[in-house]
């Protein structure tokens, strides 16, 4: 690679043989890799990557063997424990192992389990956080996960649990009441159930919702809808996972903050979408 940015002098950690670095690759755009991720990609002997890691990112590790460990295009899914044990074997063979996962490895990514298995097998690990899709993906759609006029808390929720169902253990009533903004990962499969649970718990059917698919990639699409209409609108739109679903008024901020639309020459739709009638910042 000739055009990767040169990293300035810094105490960059060296990958040692026999180590596994568990690293977040961000939501898609390679520019959202961290510098620690770039440093790791340059040193690894082998990169074990998931379905949500953009292939372009592997170009950053031309010297390494690239091993796919995810579910895509009908290929059978590698079992989680098998992946972890493969990491153990590679480490024990003296490789510098980079385990690359979409977003942040510790956010709905089972990174904690993988790291735990490695440590249980005496394999030393380093954790490199990444930009999670629920934060960075929404930012690319012009939606701030917190905005002072909207929310003082945000809840990240997974749309299905290990059994593949909507998480039965989740108290949707408390989640609905306790947090003005919900950011739902893996929600597309059970979207109808999720909508019903939120409406039953008292969230308004006119509440703004955004669905952002393939966020930060060139295939990014954004659907703006409402809690009452989202199931039909998603079906009509033909949107496919991966998707982040944001429920709450912060979605309205996209009317002024859709910076990607503006970069294409669109005007902001509404400079004051929350109707505050005052400058955004008064002090
Ligand atoms: N560790 C990841 C999440 C893994 S769970 C992170 O921190 O982002 C997988 C889910 O993440 C997907 O079903 C989807 O809900 C979300 N996701 C990951 N990448 C995405 C992207 N580029 N666009 C939209 N959603 C994404």
CA-closest residue to ligand 1 atom 24: 243
Each residue's pLDDT tens digit, 111-123: 999 999 999 999 9
Tell me the torsion sign for CA atoms 266, 143, 158, 35: positive
pLDDT confidence of residue 3: 56
Whether the Cβ atoms of residue 184 and residue 247 lie closer than 8 Å to each other: yes
Q: Is residue 212 part of a domain?
A: yes
Catalytic residues: 50, 71, 186
The side-by-side arrangement of strands in the sheet containing 65-68 is: 65-68, 46-49, 97-101, 20-24, 125-128
Find out whether the beta carbon of 70 lies less than 6 Å from any atom of ligand 1.
Answer: no
Residue 162, pLDDT score: 67
Q: Output the domain CATH number for residue 162.
A: 3.30.950.10
The reply to whether 126 and 176 lie within a common domain is: no
CB-ligand 1 contact for 32 (6 Å cutoff)? no
The finding on whether 103 has its CB within 6 A of some atom of ligand 1 is yes
Question: Of the spans 67-76, 160-169, 230-239, which averages the highest pLDDT?
Answer: 230-239
Residue at 143 is within a domain: yes
Token couple for 115:
């790291």
Tokens coding 76: 């059978």
108 lines ligand 1 (CB under 6 A): yes
Question: For residue 125, which of 140, 142, 143, 113 has the smallest C-alpha distance?
Answer: 113
pLDDT at 77 over 80: no
Number of domains in the chain: 2
Spatial contact of 231 and 191, defined as CB atoms under 8 Å apart: yes
Please report the pLDDT score of residue 171 as a whole number.
86
Q: Of 107, 131, 155, at which residue does a domain stop?
A: 131
pLDDT per residue as tens digits for the range 176-218 = 998 999 999 999 999 999 999 999 999 999 999 999 999 999 9
188 and 120 together in one domain: no
277 in a structural domain: no
Q: According to DSSP H, which parts of 121-218 are helical?
A: 138-140, 172-178, 191-200
Q: Is the pLDDT reported for residue 4 higher than 60?
A: no
Evaluate whether residue 196 is within a structural domain: yes
DSSP-derived pairing of the beta strands 208-213 and 221-226: antiparallel
CA angle 267, 222, 211 (to 5 degrees): 135
pLDDT at 133 over 70: yes
Alpha-carbon Rg for the chain in angstroms: 20
Residue 168 scores a pLDDT above 60: yes
Q: Is residue 278 part of a domain?
A: no
Give the distance (Å) from ligand 1 centre to CA of residue 184.
10
Neighbours of 163 (CB within 10 A): 8
Is the torsion defined by CA of 167, 170, 176, 179 positive or negative? negative
Distance from the CA of 211 to the center of ligand 1, in angstroms? 12
Domain coverage including residue 58: 20-131
In the predicted model, is pLDDT for residue 73 greater than 70?
no
Same domain for 110 and 144, yes or no, is no
In the beta sheet, which residues pair with residue 67? Answer: 48
CA 222 to centroid of ligand 1, rounded, Å:
15
Q: Kindly report the average pLDDT of the chain as a whole number.
A: 93
- Cβ-count burial 225-241 (b if 16+ within 10 Å, e if not): bebbebbebbeeeebee
Surface-to-core class of residue 17, CB atoms within 10 Å of its CB (0-12 exposed, 13-18 middle, 19+ buried)? exposed
């Amino acid at each position: 690679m000739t055009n990767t940015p040169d990293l300035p002098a810094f105490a960059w950690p060296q990958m040692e043989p026999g180590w596994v670095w568990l690293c977040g690759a961000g939501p898609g755009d390679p520019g959202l890799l961290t510098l620690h991720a770039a440093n790791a990609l340059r040193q690894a002997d082998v990169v074990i990557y998931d379905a949500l890691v953009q292939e372009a990112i592997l170009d950053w590790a031309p010297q390494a063997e690239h091993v796919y460990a995810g579910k895509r295009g009908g290929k059978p899914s590698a079992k989680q424990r098998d992946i972890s044990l493969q990491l153990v074997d590679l480490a024990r063979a003296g490789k510098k192992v980079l385990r690359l996962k979409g977003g942040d490895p510790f956010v709905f990514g089972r990174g904690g389990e993988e790291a735990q298995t490695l440590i249980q097998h005496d394999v030393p690990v380093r954790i490199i956080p990444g930009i999670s899709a629920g934060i960075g993906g929404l930012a690319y759609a012009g939606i701030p996960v917190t905005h002072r006029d909207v929310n003082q808390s945000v809840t990240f929720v997974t749309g299905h649990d290990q059994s593949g169902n909507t998480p039965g253990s989740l108290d949707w009533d408390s989640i609905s009441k306790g947090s003005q903004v919900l950011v739902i990962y893996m929600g597309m499969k059970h979207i109808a159930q999720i909508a019903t649970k939120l409406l039953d718990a008292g969230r308004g059917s006119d509440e703004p919702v955004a669905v952002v698919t393939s966020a930060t990639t060139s295939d990014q699409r954004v659907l703006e809808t409402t809690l009452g209409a989202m199931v039909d609108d998603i079906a009509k739109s033909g949107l496919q996972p991966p998707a982040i679903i944001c429920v709450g008024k912060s979605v309205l901020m996209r009317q002024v903050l859709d910076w990607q639309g503006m970069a294409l020459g669109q005007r902001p739709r509404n400079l004051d979408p929350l109707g505050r009638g005052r400058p955004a910042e008064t002090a």
